[in-house]
Structure 1
Amino acid sequence: MNTSISDLPDELKKRILPIRMMIFDVDGVLTDGRVIYLDDGSEIKEFDVQDGHGIKLLQRAGIEVALITGRACRAVGHRALALGITRVHQGAKVKLEPYEQLLAQTGFKEHETGYMGDDLIDIPVMRRAGFSVAVPNGTPHIFPYAHYVTRAGGGRGAAREVCEMILQVQGLWESTMRRYLG
């Protein structure tokens, strides 16, 4: 993360402190938003390994991670399985319904959830989540609903940036780093 937590506004830190579940859109957030179709009609999506590691860091720190995506694709299921994400909602044309299901399943309150999106379909959840994030390559129409816009683009480190920010603001970064420093 390029931004020091001391540079973050206090209001933003207050939003991040209670986060217990971070929810990510997939296309445009965990990927750059492009889809490659093969001759047989199957899709290829490209995921950033550092974003994936950031998600694993959140999980190890006890923060729940979920995915809500408007499209359905086997590659998303494979990526979720590889990252140990069990709360996955694909084909959600209206994302508020799976968001409310996640709240009911986990018992978390809205102020304890973060959401990261890139397009108009994400606005209803962004308006309700305690910490809403947009990526700079997203549609500018969602920026007014974001508490934070990442420096890194979707599929290019944006998720990692947010994961590290959460861990740092919540005071979990040092214990996370101990695993790597021995």
Structure 2
Amino acid sequence: LSGFGSGACLVSFYLRVGGGIFSKGADLGGDLVGEMSESKFDEERRVFELQQRMENIANTRKERLQKGLEDDEEEALDQLRLLEEEMQDICADLHPIDFLDEIGEVICDVTGTCADLFESMVLILSTSAIIGAKISAVPHFLTGLPFWIVASGNIGCAVATFKVHCTE
């Protein structure tokens, strides 16, 4: 059990370090390719202009409603459809490397959190099993008790998840 706990600590450490390295590499790669891409500023400008146009449409609609004028839904929807098509064209032109930085951050956060949780759970289980084996006259019961507690928690989580998914 002590070897398992030590191994979990090492794996957790390497996952956190590896996630950090991947995140930094993704950040640097995104920055390097982003510097080479001159069209990025043009795309950002176009997106900003489209956002301004959407705000203008919304403001015009609010002003018409405040003045008591009839709201022309069809015209507003047509304008929004045109804006949506332009946004799709812009998104189709984006380079996949633009998303690499965000993906690196997510991977770093997820692996770090999962590794920490795994390490904590393994160390708690192994420590409590070792202590239970040493302090009890009947070592089998107190050695297995932490595992039974974790197993009952897992079963409870599975039942709760099943209940939530079935009712939704």
TM-score range normalised by the length of the shorter chain: under 0.3
Q: TM-score normalised to the size of structure 1?
A: 0.19
Q: Which protein shows a greater Rg?
A: 2
Structure ranking higher on relative contact order (CA contacts 8 Å, 6+ apart) = 2
More strand by share: 1
